[in-house]
Structure 1
Amino acid sequence: MINHRKSFGMYTFIAVDACMTPGIKRPHNFFGLITADLAKSLQSFSLKAFDSNQTFWFSHYPTSTIISPGYDLRSLIGKTAHSYFCGHLHNPLNLMPNMYTVQPQGFLELELADWRGGRFFRIVAVDNDLVSFVDAQMHKRDSDDWPLVLITNPKDAGFLLPSKEPTERILKSTHIRILAWSRYLIQRVSVSIDGAFVGNARPAKRHDASI
């Protein structure tokens, strides 16, 4: 468990090491395991995370491949987590590029294909406690694939979690905010809404107080 403290709040990261001990090879390592000791630790971490602005859980294994005898892992995650980040299944045959779901317990489970073979990576941003993310593939990024863009405000409505985010802040919002990266010099960031140009973005200052 790691707490990242800022002047405006605290953000918590809880790791779930469900790997079996001793470690075993494929195909026997397809499932993870929550032991009694690990369950006790996770319950303690969850209690400590209640005052955090946002809490993120992460593990190698999706919750669907974790064995937790007599223990409801998803319910525990749902008490505090905005998102649960995981991998493991590696986008088999490229048939599942977007492995995302909202679990009934009220958190996003966001699986990402592997870095080892596929070179997939994820960028996550927290903007006024609203969480956005973008997934990308490193070795297939040609010149036409840049820049890599993550719009943090307004966030993608498909991933809104009113029970875990202050979505009412969107009503008071006055700015469109964008994170952009490129291997080439970014000279201008233009903004269009529904195909209509509305203006050019300006670089934000550090700790910009805009909403």
Structure 2
Amino acid sequence: MEVCFVGFDSTMEIGLRGPTNLFGHPTDQLLSDLDMELSQWDAESAKSSVRKIAFGHFPLSFSAPADSGKSLKDVFLKHSLSAYLCGHLHTRFGKNLKRHHTLLSGKYYQFNVHEGLSDVGNESCSKNAEPIKEFWEWEMGDWRKSRAMRIIAIDSGHVSFLDTDFKFGSRDVIILPTFPLDSRFMQRISYSRDYKCQTMKISSYESIRALVFSRKVIVSVSVKIYDSMPGSLSLVLDQVMMKHNGNGTRGDMYVSPWNWRAFSDSSPDRYWLQIEAIDISGSSSFSQIRPFSVNGLTSRVNWRWKEFFVWVANGLICITLFCGLSFQFFSHCFSFHKLFLGVRRIITLTRKLVQVSLEVTL
């Protein structure tokens, strides 16, 4: 398994800063370089599986298209990235600023995490079938203010992550389940085809796996699976996980064989997974409980108003800047001093607009 990490900077080089530095400004040259860098791994993907991950500062909704009209999203869809990691807004508008992108999803805004997600189940198993163009956009918190950290794991082609913060000090135990994946924020449309057509190795399905990072000696790790069909979480599996030696990671990998076919279901959030680790002092630590779908179905998630407001504010700011600058240009095109004062007024009004909107939201 090969992994390609590509980072880039889409900030403006010269010119007016605030408030335009609120947005990323990728150039055609940057998009061309990014495309070329990602294309270098296409030859490797023919020999073995390659996972491509890009990272930058600005989310796509705050990134302008280049002069040619081409955007970062076009490049990422072309290469079907596993994920694009970004920041900028961080956790100011909630911890759920994640988006799954396809050719059908909104260009600048979406009404939910999975907008444009096509119905799965009708995928062709033909070798000549066109691969699905998709990628995840995972915005993450910052270390400076939020003391947030993200751990990413790639396990047999499955990309997973865990967000944790250290606002109240360090943690003795951190648990990251690597398979099965969270059906809300990590599942790809292509996973449904992989399950149906068995394009991935069956061995990757045959065990539950988790990474455990601990400052203390871990004496036991167990996996618990709950069934939500009765209307409440009912424990249906509770078994010990064994430590896998020589996994080559900083954390310890724990595995547990299971009858994965028994958990295949038409609902993407019927079954829920949680990992428990007990250290030498007898203290128990738990992973975040999360839904999973072994047959690759995606559990849809709707944004709360605070998270949806990000895309509304983005549109309001763009409209305000465009209308304001146009008016000031035509009204004061012969007076640079008045034009400068006009731009300052627009910046002030824009900031007040965002501040008032935030107060209404909060």
Which TM-score band (shorter chain)? Answer: 0.7 to 0.9
SS at match of 2:219: coil
Preserved CA contact (<8 Å) 1:91 1:113: yes
Whole-angstrom distance in 2 between the partners of 1:11 and 1:128:
11
Aligned to 2:123: none
Does residue 135 (structure 1) correspond to residue 135 (structure 2)? The answer is no
CA distance in 2, matches of 1:23, 1:58: 24
Q: CA RMSD in A?
A: 2.7
Among the aligned pairs, what percent are the same residue? 28
Structure 2 counterpart of 1:100, one-letter code: K
Among residues 127, 151, 161, which one is paired with 2:177 in the alignment? 151
Structure 2 distance, partners of 1:13, 1:64, is 22
Structure with bigger gyration radius: 2
Question: In structure 1, which of residues 50, 60, 63 is the aligned counterpart of residue 57 of structure 2?
Answer: 60
Task: Give unmatched runs, 5+ long, in structure 2.
Answer: 104-133, 227-234, 249-254, 258-362
Q: Report the equivalent of 1:181.
A: 213
Aligned to 2:83: 83
Of 48-57 and 11-20, deviating more is 48-57
- Decide which structure has greater strand share: 1
Q: 1:205 to 1:22 in 2, by over 3 A?
A: same
Q: Is the 8 A contact 1:129 1:166 kept in 2?
A: no
Structure 1 residues 133, 23: CA separation in 2 closer, same or farther (over 3 Å shift)? farther
CA deviation string 1:97-129 (max 9, x = no partner) = 121110124110000011110011111111100
One-letter code aligned to 2:27 = T
Structure number having the greater helix percentage: 2
Match of 2:30 in 1: 38
Tell me by how many angstroms 1:26 deviates: 5.1
Instruction: Report how far residue 207 of structure 1 moved.
Output: 4.5
Provide the C-alpha distance between the structure 2 equivalents of 1:25 and 1:140, rounded to a whole number of angstroms.
35
**1:119 pairs with 113, 133, 147, which one?**
147
The answer (yes or no) to whether the contact 2:223–2:237 under 8 Å persists in 1 is yes
Q: Which residue of 1 aligns with 2:188?
A: 161
TM-score w.r.t. the length of structure 1 is: 0.81
CA deviations on 1:5-36 (whole Å, 9 max, x unpaired) are xxxx3211111210221497654421111113
Question: Counterparts of 1:152 and 1:110 in 2: how far apart (Å)?
Answer: 17
TM-superposition CA deviations, 1:126-183 (whole Å, max 9, x none): 110011111111223576xx52211111122222114379554486522111111233
2:58 aligns to what SS in structure 1?
coil
Give, as a single letter, the amino acid of the residue that structure 1 aligns with 2:26: I
- Secondary structure at the aligned position of 2:22 is classed as coil
Runs of 4+ more than 6 Å apart: none
**CA contact under 8 A between 1:46 and 1:79: conserved in structure 2?**
no
Cα distance in structure 1, aligned partners of 2:164 and 2:16: 30
Q: State which of 224, 231, 244 in structure 2 corresponds to 1:204.
A: 244
Q: What is the CA-CA distance between 1:63 and the residue it aligns to?
A: 0.9
CA contact (8 A) 1:82 1:107 kept: yes
1:6 corresponds to which residue?
none
Q: Is the 8 A contact 2:38 2:52 kept in 1?
A: no
Q: Deviations over 1:87-106 (max 9, x none)?
A: 010222xx411211101241
Report deviation, 1:47. 1.8
Task: Give me the TM-score of the superposition, normalised by structure 2.
Answer: 0.49
Q: Hey, what's the Cα distance between the residues in 2 that align with 1:152 and 1:13?
A: 19
- Number of matched residues? 198
In the alignment, is residue 108 of structure 1 matched against residue 136 of structure 2? Answer: yes
